[in-house]
Amino acid sequence: MELNGAQILVQSLKDEGVEYIFGYPGGAVLHIYDAIFQQDDVKHILVRHEQGATHAADAYARATGKTGVVLVTSGPGATNAVTGIATAYMDSIPMVVISGQVPSPVIGSDAFQEVDMVGISRPCVKHNFLVKDVTKLAETIKKAFYVASTGRPGPVVVDVPKDITDPNIKVPYKYPRKVIMRSYNPAVEGHKGQIKKAVELLLSAQRPMIYSGGGVILGEASRELIELTRTLGYPITNTLMGLGAYPATDKQFIGMLGMHGTYEANMGMHESDVILAVGARFDDRVTGKLAEFCPYAKIIHIDVDPASISKTVKVDIPIVGQVKPVLTQMIEQVKESKKQPSKKALAAWWEQIDKWRSVQCLEYDRESSLIKPQYVIEQLYEVTKGDAYITSDVGQHQMYAAQYYHFDKPRRWINSGGLGTMGFGLPAAIGVKLAFPEADVACVTGEASIQMCIQELSTALQYKTPVKIINLNNRYMGMVRQWQEFSYQSRYSHSYMDTLPDFVKLAEAYGHVGMLVENKADLRSALEEAFAMKDRTVFLDIITDRTENVYPMIESGKGHHDMKLRVAPGTPTDRELA
């Protein structure tokens, strides 16, 4: 079969099983768009800004486990995509980004809409390619998908000069079934000896903790994690990226850990003697002050990326491999082992954890007449029966969603953890809704974040992706305000937004339903009404208590045992700003 470059590109995506491309046309990719026009298998979603394309594709990948695909033009199209590429990179999300490039002969001449995309994207991609020969195009696409989706996943950029997609140059096409790259051989199975040592250490623990992260979700190992945790009977905490890998409503789950983790999770980590870290990378938001991190613990770390091991925290038993096969082996060995966890030690440990739990660190002022953001998430949880896909932006609302929406399944919590990209939530919700049209999809956001990619409301209308936008409107950049309150004597430098749009009218202008919720009493019915409108995107502008802070909190530079807990409701500190 002879095809031109543009057709090869589209056919390769089809052969790769791609369902959706998220993109935006422009000069350098016009040949490709013409090839897209002439087929129906790969559906193109036209976003309103390239950042939106990357977030939508990224969230599609997070929700489905498939690789997200983006198509942007050269120059500004490519640079606009960079934030989304970096977002995917930090959270290890498989994504292939095809960027147009000026024709090969003029590369390097500062041609119209030329940027060095390979150079610009290099620090925030897993790998990138510049296609120099149309006969190598199909193979390059195959390699891009292979690299993006295997090992520790990540975004891969394929930069395609316009002459490569010239409709007049046809070459034989065959999509390779597999590629072998001598320089790229991601680890699979873990080292048997290390696994054996790890199991022995785990079984001898007196105060064990399982700390799992996004790697468990990426590695489809939630079932194995649950089985191992239940077999052992140990407490488990999840990172922000790992929520849902272990059911949050299970009694062995002690909440998220880290900066806004629960008291019991952080204290448990601090006092633990053996930690099993699974697909987590000891991020600074998790560890707090490194010198005080888990002072009594021996640490086992399972990770597919050898560079994640002992990067910030030195571990005692590293296991490089995919979490699924490693956990499977561990389960077998635990079951076969004559040694079993000490019942007495474990009972004492759970007693201690329950004491920490009794602090009830997530309690808030339920009597308040104002709408508390936590209350909104709790109501959202009830109305959606805990079974929605929740995307979020970045800030206080993100933490409330993580703390109060109890994720019982993996891939339900879609947020920008590593890069912390405001503007992620709305395009992400669209990406998820396309993947799961029947599911409830809500974007938990704030009035600051939502404005960073608000233009995607237009995309939501075009593709009929009825998502629900839960705007926790506190008229502040809440998390910035909170830090300014704690660390800058309440000097609220530029964290206040006093010229907000009328979000209801804005939603209506985009052809959606807008609802303003100002009274606590109206919240539940508004949520129910919104979710009952199955075929409409609904923007719920919820006016929340503007002085509310996220608790508990490990302030930066402090250790797990040094948490700031909420002061009792009604005390002056809590009301200072009201």
Partner 1 sequence: MRHIISILIENEAGALSRVAGLFSARGYNIESLTVAPTEDSSLSRMTLVTRGNDDIIEQITKQLNKLVDVVKLIDLAESAHIERELMMVKVKTSEATRAEIKRIADIFRGRIIDVTPTTFVIEMTGTSDKLDAFVKSIDETTIIEVVRSGATGICRGEKGLHL
Residues annotated as part of the active site:
50, 112-113, 162, 479
Q: Let me know: does 217 contact 245? Beta carbons within 8 Å.
A: yes
The DSSP bridge pattern shows strands 253-256 and 274-278 to be: unpaired
Provide the minimum distance between the beta carbon of 163 and partner 1 in the complex, in angstroms, as a whole number: 17
Provide the minimum distance between the beta carbon of 97 and partner 1 in the complex, in angstroms, as a whole number: 15
List, as one string, the DSSP characters of 305-366. -GGGTTSSS--SEEEES-HHHHHHHHHHHHHH-S----HHHHHHHHHHHHHHHTT-TT---T
Nearest to 257 by CA among 66, 399, 443: 399
Counts of helices then strands in the chain (DSSP H, E): 21, 20
Taking the C-alpha atoms of residue 429 and residue 461, their distance in angstroms, rounded to an integer, is: 13
Provide the minimum distance between the beta carbon of 120 and partner 1 in the complex, in angstroms, as a whole number: 11
Using the minimum distance from each CB to partner 1, give the nearer residue, 182 or 494.
182
Which of 76, 103, 233, 306: binder of partner 1 (CB under 8 A)? 306
Provide the minimum distance between the beta carbon of 307 and partner 1 in the complex, in angstroms, as a whole number: 4
| Stretch binding partner 1 (CB under 8 A), from 12-20, 115-123, 210-218, 433-441 | 115-123
Please report whether residue 39 would count as binding partner 1 according to CB under 8 A. Answer: no
CA distances from 51 to 148, 228, 504 (A): 19, 39, 24
Please report whether residue 103 would count as binding partner 1 according to CB under 8 A. Answer: no
Nearest to 562 by CA among 291, 310, 256, 255: 291
Please report whether residue 123 would count as binding partner 1 according to CB under 8 A. Answer: yes
Considering only residues 145 to 164 of the shown chain, the ones binding partner 1 according to CB under 8 A are 147
DSSP H or E segment with residue 144:
helix 137-149
Which of 35, 130, 210, 275: binder of partner 1 (CB under 8 A)? 130
Which of 139, 305, 316, 562: binder of partner 1 (CB under 8 A)? 305
- CA Rg, the chain, in Å? 24
Q: Let me know: does 174 contact 305? Beta carbons within 8 Å.
A: no
Provide the minimum distance between the beta carbon of 123 and partner 1 in the complex, in angstroms, as a whole number: 5
Considering only residues 203 to 242 of the shown chain, the ones binding partner 1 according to CB under 8 A are none
Please report whether residue 127 would count as binding partner 1 according to CB under 8 A. Answer: yes
Length of the chain: 578
Which of 1, 290, 307, 509: binder of partner 1 (CB under 8 A)? 307
Q: Let me know: does 139 contact 5? Beta carbons within 8 Å.
A: no
| Stretch binding partner 1 (CB under 8 A), from 87-95, 121-129, 324-332, 436-444 | 121-129
Provide the minimum distance between the beta carbon of 119 and partner 1 in the complex, in angstroms, as a whole number: 7
- Residue appearing with tokens 């926790």: 472
Amino acid letter for position 549 = N
Provide the minimum distance between the beta carbon of 135 and partner 1 in the complex, in angstroms, as a whole number: 16
Using the minimum distance from each CB to partner 1, give the nearer residue, 167 or 306.
306
Which of 62, 126, 142, 301: binder of partner 1 (CB under 8 A)? 126
Taking the C-alpha atoms of residue 125 and residue 48, their distance in angstroms, rounded to an integer, is: 23
CA distances from 90 to 52, 123, 146, 241, 422 (A): 17, 11, 19, 11, 14
Taking the C-alpha atoms of residue 490 and residue 549, their distance in angstroms, rounded to an integer, is: 13
Using the minimum distance from each CB to partner 1, give the nearer residue, 157 or 527.
157
Which of 30, 46, 106, 118: binder of partner 1 (CB under 8 A)? 118
Using the minimum distance from each CB to partner 1, give the nearer residue, 214 or 373.
214
| Stretch binding partner 1 (CB under 8 A), from 69-77, 126-134, 223-231, 434-442 | 126-134
Using the minimum distance from each CB to partner 1, give the nearer residue, 119 or 437.
119
Number of residues forming the site for partner 1 (CB under 8 A): 20
Taking the C-alpha atoms of residue 231 and residue 242, their distance in angstroms, rounded to an integer, is: 20
Rounded to 5°, the CA angle 384-385-390 comes to 50
| Stretch binding partner 1 (CB under 8 A), from 83-91, 127-135, 516-524, 530-538 | 127-135
Please report whether residue 311 would count as binding partner 1 according to CB under 8 A. Answer: yes
The site string for partner 1 over 168-187 (x = CB under 8 A, - otherwise) reads -------------xxxx---
Provide the minimum distance between the beta carbon of 184 and partner 1 in the complex, in angstroms, as a whole number: 5
Provide the minimum distance between the beta carbon of 3 and partner 1 in the complex, in angstroms, as a whole number: 25
Which of 17, 105, 119, 437: binder of partner 1 (CB under 8 A)? 119
What residues contact residue 189 under an 8 Å CB cut-off, 6+ apart? 321, 322, 325, 326
Using the minimum distance from each CB to partner 1, give the nearer residue, 44 or 142.
142
Which of 17, 41, 122, 387: binder of partner 1 (CB under 8 A)? 122
Taking the C-alpha atoms of residue 396 and residue 489, their distance in angstroms, rounded to an integer, is: 19
Question: How many Cα atoms within 13 Å fall on the side-chain side of residue 331?
Answer: 16
| Stretch binding partner 1 (CB under 8 A), from 30-38, 228-236, 303-311, 325-333 | 303-311
Task: Give residues in contact with partner 1 (CB under 8 A).
Answer: 118-119, 122-123, 126-127, 130, 132, 147, 181-184, 305-307, 309-311, 314
